[in-house]
Amino acid sequence: MSVEFRLPDLGEGIHEGEIVEVLVSVGDRVLDGQPVMVIETDKATTEVPAPVSGVVKEIRVKPGEVVKVGAVLMTFEAEGRAVAAAPPEKDVSREKAGGLEAPPGGGETRPAVTASKEPPAAAPSTRRLARELGIDLRQVAPSGPGGRVTPEDVRRHAELQGRKPAAPSPQAAVAEEEAPVARTAAPEAAPAPSPAGEPLGACDPHGAIERVPLRSVRRATAKHLARAWAEIPHVSHQDVADITELDAFRRKHKAEIREAGGALNMIVFVLKAAVAALKAFPGFNASIDPEREEIVFKRYYNIGVAVDTDRGLIVPVIRDVDRKSVRELAVELLDVAERTRRGKAEREEMTGGTFTLTNIGALGGTAFTPIINHPQSAILGMGQARLQPVVRGDLERHEIVPRLLLPLIVAFDHRIVDGADAARFLGMIIEALENPEELLLVI
């Protein structure tokens, strides 16, 4: 039976992907669930598994091509009855385990283990996990739909065998001072279109050029930021916070947070200070509904934290920041930032943000102007904290003392809030950061 394999739904808001690599050739025999190609979207790099066991009959795409959801990728001469293609799982390294699948319900009956010579149905990440744990998938009782083996099945089997998961990657031991940082720049004007078919590296009247297509994360970023810049009337307000005492508190407790698996960097404290200000000034935790001409105030606090990766700027979302302690945030932030850099963060972790925090401080500079993450109404930027001389007192009696100052800038949607609101909003954040005891009451 000939089966057309179409690009499945890649998740909410994702309509296309770029073919990174085709892993099979025409005439190759593949098994159901075997990776056949790698696709990159603005969210992640994904292995796409074969929907059936059979022989590759035709390949209709090639690396570098951008394809829409529903487009035919390849055809198979299937062995037996074809099954629907399952959504692909995210995997950038193709070496370590991917995301978890939901465990089966308590009332389900688990199928018996079979002794078939053919590998059982399982997603690529599940197969990798089994290899890491030294588990034979044919010995694992499947609980997934259609008799598929899930990661939970493999872990449960490993526990029964007395085996432990693989050790975490060395990247998990990131120094506590390292914080997720973002490269932020206003969108540049688009170049004028060139004649079709102009070869790469051709010369124009001014000199040699090279043309590089916008792809995956960079392409999505360009569209997203251009829309935000065009639709939102941006206004910025800037100030500095004296974090001398707060930094002393951070240094005092960073070792115990490290033991808990987190990193106590300044972003953690800014998150807690920001969420208190968002509750006091709800216009910064809102969005515009232009169709109904309404302001939508969010009564939950999911803050995106911009992370600088080798694929571009990616913004995972920390959910319910107001309900989490400093310790919990320090652990979660380090984990999600590390997984985002490795392309391991789940798609769901990139959605649902109500406000964004971006930190350029680790790269230097005194100030910058962040672009609001549409459709949010505001974004808070952090500059580099520097030890600077500060004058205390008045003209008659004063002293000059060294203080650690943190530049902060808030960009906001002027349709929703005004400059005076921004000054009060940022002032509340600064007051919390400058008074660690007060900040601890907030957290």
Active site residues: 414
Q: What is the DSSP letter of 74?
A: E
On whether the CB atoms of residues 74 and 85 are closer than 8 A, the answer is no
CA geometry: angle at 70 spanning 100 and 119, to 5°?
A: 45
Q: If you search the block for the tokens 């590759």, which residue do you land on?
A: 56
SS3 222: helix
- Structure-token pair, residue 168: 């975490």
**DSSP E strands, 91-178:** none
Give the strands of the sheet with 54-59, arranged side by side.
2-6, 72-78, 54-59, 29-30
Count of Cβ atoms closer than 10 Å to residue 352 Cβ: 13
Q: ∠276-279-283 over CA atoms, to 5°?
A: 125
Residue with tokens 């079709």: 196
> Distance from CA of residue 185 to its chain's centroid?
19
What does the alpha-carbon distance between residue 96 and residue 352 come to, in Å, rounded to a whole number? 27
Alpha-carbon distance of 169 to 442, in angstroms, equals: 34
What whole-number distance in Å separates Cα of residue 419 and Cα of residue 412? 9
414: left (phi over 0), alpha (psi -120 to 50) or beta: alpha
Give just the sign of the alpha carbon dihedral 7, 13, 19, 23.
negative
Using a 10 angstrom Cβ sphere, with 0-12 exposed, 13-18 middle and 19 or more buried, the burial of residue 222 is middle
Exposed (0-12), middle (13-18) or buried (19+): which is 230, by Cβ within 10 Å? exposed
Tokens of 278: 């968002």
- In the structure encoding, which two tokens stand for residue 385, read together? 């904290």
Question: What are the start-end ranges of the H helices in 368-418?
Answer: none
